[in-house]
A and B are shown apart, each in its own frame.
Chain A
């Protein structure tokens, strides 16, 4: 079962963080179709957040078609994220190669992370992902 975390300094709304963590776990194969998500009560007790936030995240996941709420028993994963693993591996290798050249160029962690964030933002502006 997934364990949620909350980064209070990220500036990203808490419900988005929960949604992203489920998507990330699906992508990495840590969650699979049929797996159950923790109950709202358990999440709230674990990370001390507003129950409405968890409801909202779960509703969002359901709308994305990733989960299904079964009354009385909980929320379950219904499908995996349709990523092509081969393509993903190739992309990861490209990124690692880029990281190495960034380090070789003398950039530190902070500079690299700033570049990545900036690239993500500017590419988002250009059009849909």
Chain B
């Protein structure tokens, strides 16, 4: 099976600092994968490299098995890239943006694009620059989805949107994924937004991939242990984070936790707790790579 997006030893240097290093990952076709990390972790760099907008300093990017080479355009018809800055033409009417989409993309789906905007109550006669931030995001996403891409690369699609606009945008997006089986790779720093929409999660911090995995397996393989204070983490346990107060120690561990005795309570951490633990961990310069081989199945009765 070909991956929708695959990177191998991918890195990008900006003058003296690295925006992304040693990134090897594989995004299965038909999946929805979330990219989380603090500001400056390299999320946008990874997305720009995946879209072929930025050139890698090291390594390679492949879209549906085809390597993206400098100046290659073959992959462009298959991807939709949503830039964090939503670069729309403020002086255009929404209608003009749709015309632009139609003229530039041979597979343009005008009927759906108009339907989405209609559902959202955005008039095609409005000037783009006059719309709210949420509505501009909707227009940008409409243009991305209107070209019927096989892979959507979305950089912070819900950032700076109010809860209602966020929900509307995710509803439109999920509806389209259900209809077309589009692969989605999206970044956000709001874990709670990603949890219900993603199959897989990639945690990025300080230009390095910290961990990747399905949300189910991340939840299943991590535990919080609360017990009497211990100094220095117990041996034989993969401790991701440890915090101690006067009398108590709280550990977030990976894998089967050993029995530390009856004084220890085992709890299920939330996804945001797991993410935070990885983000506060000192960066290990390893290239964590995980090829996710599971393909999410889609039923027939959709």
Contact = CB atoms under 8 A, between A and B. Distances in A.
* Size band of the interface chain A makes with B: 20 to 34
Contacts of B299: 40, 55, 58-59, 69
Interface in A39-93: 39-41, 44-56, 58-59, 69-75
* Size band of the interface chain B makes with A: 20 to 34
Contacts of B219: 13
Given A8-B196, A41-B302, A51 B174 contact: yes
A128 interface: no
B174 A8 contact: no
Contacts of A6: 196
A51 B296 CA distance: 10
A22 interface: no
A7 to B, nearest CB: 10
Contacts of A46: 171
Interface in B187-226: 192, 195-199, 216, 219
A11 B197 CA distance: 15
Contact of B174 (A48, A55, A56, A72): A48
Interface in B52-92: none
B237 interface: no
A14, A41, A52, A69: residue with the most chain B Cβ atoms closer than 10 Å: A52
Interface of A: 6, 8, 11, 13-14, 39-41, 44-56, 58-59, 69-75
Interface of B: 30-32, 167, 170-172, 174-175, 177-179, 192, 195-199, 216, 219, 268, 270, 296-302
